[in-house]
Amino acid sequence: VQLQASGGGLVQAGGSLRLSCAASGTIFGIYTMGWYRQAPGKRRELVATVSRGGTTHYADSVQGRFTISRDNAKNTVVLQMNSLKPEDTAVYYCNADVLSTPFSEQNYWGKGTLVTVSS
């Protein structure tokens, strides 16, 4: 199973970016999908998650600015980021709990995508 993220880049403060992540490989189902981020010199932190049924959870720092969504048929998850701030600058990682066999669930990480917000 591979998670391929895209959509990072450079944006001015107040702008928007949309991150996408697609899971591929042998997949029998995907439970929680989410986005995490790691800023320079800091620990990786949760940004947002979405369950298979659509229940979402956000970090307080992004609540009201970011929206996470998923397409179960396409095994994709999207993070719409609005009103970006310089402190949102980080490498963003896609994460998913995947049933890679009918009886085996594993957690996967995608390669990060860099988001840079200039002031």
Backbone dihedral angles phi then psi of residue 82, each to the nearest 5 degrees: -115, 165
Burial of 2: CB neighbours in 10 Å, binned 0-12, 13-18, 19+: exposed
Instruction: Look at residue 102 and tell me whether its pLDDT is greater than 90.
Output: no
Rounded distance between C-alpha atoms, residue 118 and residue 89, angstroms: 8
Residue 101: its pLDDT value, please?
A: 87
Q: Report the chain's mean pLDDT, rounded to a whole number.
A: 97
Task: Tell me the pLDDT tens digit for each residue of 22-75.
Answer: 999 999 999 999 999 999 999 999 999 999 999 999 999 999 999 999 999 999
